Structure 1
Amino acid sequence: MSDVARRAGVSRATASYVLNRTPGARIPEQTRARVLEAAEQLRYVPHVSARSLRRGRSDLVVGHVDGTAVLRGGLSFVTLIQVARDVREAGYTFLIHGDPTVTGIPAARSWLALRPAAVVATLDRYTEDSVAMLAEAGTVPIALSHTPSDLTATVVIDDGDLGRTAAQHLLDRGCRRIVVLGGCSRLVDRQTLGHRMDEAEAAAEAGGAETRRVPFSPDRETAADLVRTWLADGTLPDGVVGATTTHAAHILTALVDAGVRVPEQVAVLAADDEPQAELVRPRLTTVSADLAADESRMADAVLAALEGRWDPELAVRRLPARLVPRDSA
């Protein structure tokens, strides 16, 4: 820090304000640029441990988001990058930490080895004991879930608009026999997919459609059996909402293999948007969560928990949805 200050011709305090992005510090842009240039020339790297000692606490926010949890929680790497950016602007360092084998106390021990100010993880990673362990160590546990929880501060991700948008598109196409393909049970759906399936079903019924909720394990044989059943008993729908791109892609392929014309006889779309949608034929119409929208940002709620301003009423992050039209609906 002292070397940077000397190179830039400023005081050590000024260099510190610039390099630590101290909120409220009024530094002329010319001076700021000089300090940053000096830091670049000297290849300055902040000493995290020293900075934590100076501030009296760690500035590290750990995001436990292994690939499996991201998929189960309906999260997105883009969302995590946004959280990282926003907490960094507030003076914290965001570290992605992924170990799919740990939960509860082992997870808490793993996180505490990093001495973080806070941990952000999906709700299933926490237990009462691990939450207590983190709190006793001065680390704030923050959960991500589709449903509220009394266990710890929980950012609720409301993806209901995905289902509503999907159902409304089918209604606008004139579909009146709509099947909503979910998971194994409504409870599992809510835990893993949020409320998108409930909202799709409710919107279709409100629009006057005959609506069926069908549990569906997305694999080739199950999809083929389901389509054969529809054709055999005369219950072929004219519209299908898949919980995910995988659900919708399997049923789309089974329909085409059975000689059903898509979308002329049955329109199919997914209540999320993954790259697989471009690989099936016809290309799959999807609904995408607008993760760039201000109201979908999680960082404000994360910072509120971290800084003692937690308000559960403000911790619901609603994901606005937009239709991605392709060929299947």
Structure 2
Amino acid sequence: MTGKGKTPNTGKRATSFDVAKAAGVSRSLVSAVINGTPGIGVGPETRAKVLKAIKDLNYQVDAQARAMKTGLSRCVAAFGDMKNPLFLQVLEGMQKACAERGYHVLISGQSEDEQDRLDMLDLYRQRRIDGIVTLDDTDYESAAWIARVRESGVPYVSVEGYAGTEGVASVLADYRDSIREALDYLGGTADRYPVYLEAYEDRPERNWAERDRIAAYEAWCSARGWTPVVHRFHVHDEAWLGLYLEETAAAGRGLPPILINWSVGAVPLYRAAWKRGIRIGDELVLMAGDNTRRSNAYLSPSLASVEIPYAEMGEEAVRLLLEPSQGERGSKRWLRASIRPGDSVPKG
């Protein structure tokens, strides 16, 4: 084990021996903390002592030498679109889980060129990363990419992708359960029960997440003997939303509660309601089934929503990547969402 840094008062570079002496442990235990050596248990207090000694002595591990010795870089690649705020949430969780295990996160930005993904395989062959986590679109299932992953042998986990592909490790949100919880939160009666508005953006085809949401809504209504009411619209089609509000209000029965699939789709709905003098949270009860941009608190009134746990999904992806003993390689992990209250759904 080699390292850089200088011991106090001597000006000499600190070594693992210096760290072991300062922490009152053996050098093998220091190595176990730094390298995560399997089979050597290290208690939390001992680990804290070693980490404190490393910090106090400014001990720095020579990553290249360690990789040659252990075959590990102690670094995980995170791949996703840097313009996507959801990717930043995944990174937040990955960073937390990696820090707990003495790992670092290497961020690989996504572009239109599929070569970006292939470049990460070269990093693995060069021992510069120990695995890859990607944040994918929910409909992403590239057989060509998985073939290259398997050929290289790199540990790999997709967040949100490959829901329908067996043998590929994925961390996924339980969208069925999240919609059931949202509908229970909204409530309703036989005369006024939630209508489901489904916004779409680039492609009108439904991916697995949207299919799960719709299925959950239909099952929830059917269990109560109510007829599901689903409307689809382009996420920027404010004109359609305005017409829907006008026609529904003109029917004379009042506006039903609305569950909209994405929070971004609620923004034009807010505008359409405001232009027509419809008060959200009063005349119109509204909730989003997915707070895609964490924008609910910035709307007025605040938007009640389902919070998809992207940070926790990043954490779980790292655990699945680095701790295969938790489950077989290629398993699926489904995480539950939570309700984020807002003034658009009055309670109490």
What band does the TM-score fall into relative to the shorter chain?
0.7 to 0.9
Q: 1:94 aligns with which of 95, 105, 124?
A: 105
CA distance in 1: counterparts of 2:258 and 2:234, whole angstroms: 15
- CA-CA distance at 1:174 after TM superposition: 7.5
TM-score when normalising by structure 2: 0.74
Q: Closer, same or farther in 2 for the Cα pair 1:152/1:264, shift >3 Å?
A: same
Residue correspondence of structure 1 range 3-152 to structure 2 within 5 A: 3-8=14-19, 9=21, 12-25=27-40, 35-67=50-82, 71=86, 77-90=88-101, 92-103=103-114, 106-115=115-124, 116-123=129-136, 127-145=142-160, 147-150=163-166, 152=168
Tell me the secondary structure at the aligned position of residue 15 of structure 2: helix
- CA-CA distance at 1:203 after TM superposition: 1.7
- The answer as to 2:262 corresponding to 1:251 is no
Equivalent residue number for residue 154 of structure 1:
170
Bigger drift between 229-238 and 125-134 goes to 229-238
Structure 1 gaps of 5+ residues are none
- CA-CA distance at 1:12 after TM superposition: 4.0
Give the number of equivalent residue pairs. Answer: 320
Contact 1:22 1:91 (C-alpha < 8 Å) held by counterparts: no
CA distance in 2: counterparts of 1:279 and 1:292, whole angstroms: 20
Contact 1:245 1:271 (C-alpha < 8 Å) held by counterparts: yes
Equivalent residue number for residue 192 of structure 2:
176
Give, as a single letter, the amino acid of the residue that structure 1 aligns with 2:37. T
Contact 1:79 1:297 (C-alpha < 8 Å) held by counterparts: no
Cα deviation, 1:234-261, whole Å, max 9, x if unaligned, reads 6864110011112123223312321334
CA distance in 1: counterparts of 2:285 and 2:43, whole angstroms: 59
Cα deviation, 1:204-228, whole Å, max 9, x if unaligned, reads 3433444311112222334223323
Q: Closer, same or farther in 2 for the Cα pair 1:281/1:84, shift >3 Å?
A: closer
Bigger drift between 117-126 and 159-168 goes to 117-126
Aligned-residue RMSD, C-alpha: 3.8
Tell me the secondary structure at the aligned position of residue 142 of structure 1: strand
- CA-CA distance at 1:175 after TM superposition: 6.5
CA distance in 2: counterparts of 1:88 and 1:141, whole angstroms: 19
CA distance in 2: counterparts of 1:137 and 1:311, whole angstroms: 15
Q: 2:229 aligns with which of 195, 212, 216?
A: 212
Bigger drift between 21-30 and 160-169 goes to 21-30
Residue correspondence of structure 1 range 161-310 to structure 2 within 5 A: 161-172=177-188, 176-184=192-200, 188-191=205-208, 193=210, 195-219=212-236, 220-231=238-249, 237-273=255-291, 274-289=293-308, 297-303=316-322, 309-310=328-329
Contact 1:177 1:238 (C-alpha < 8 Å) held by counterparts: yes
CA distance in 2: counterparts of 1:113 and 1:218, whole angstroms: 39
Name whichever structure is richer in helix by fraction.
Answer: 1
Tell me the secondary structure at the aligned position of residue 196 of structure 2: strand
Q: Closer, same or farther in 2 for the Cα pair 1:28/1:189, shift >3 Å?
A: closer
CA distance in 2: counterparts of 1:257 and 1:212, whole angstroms: 24
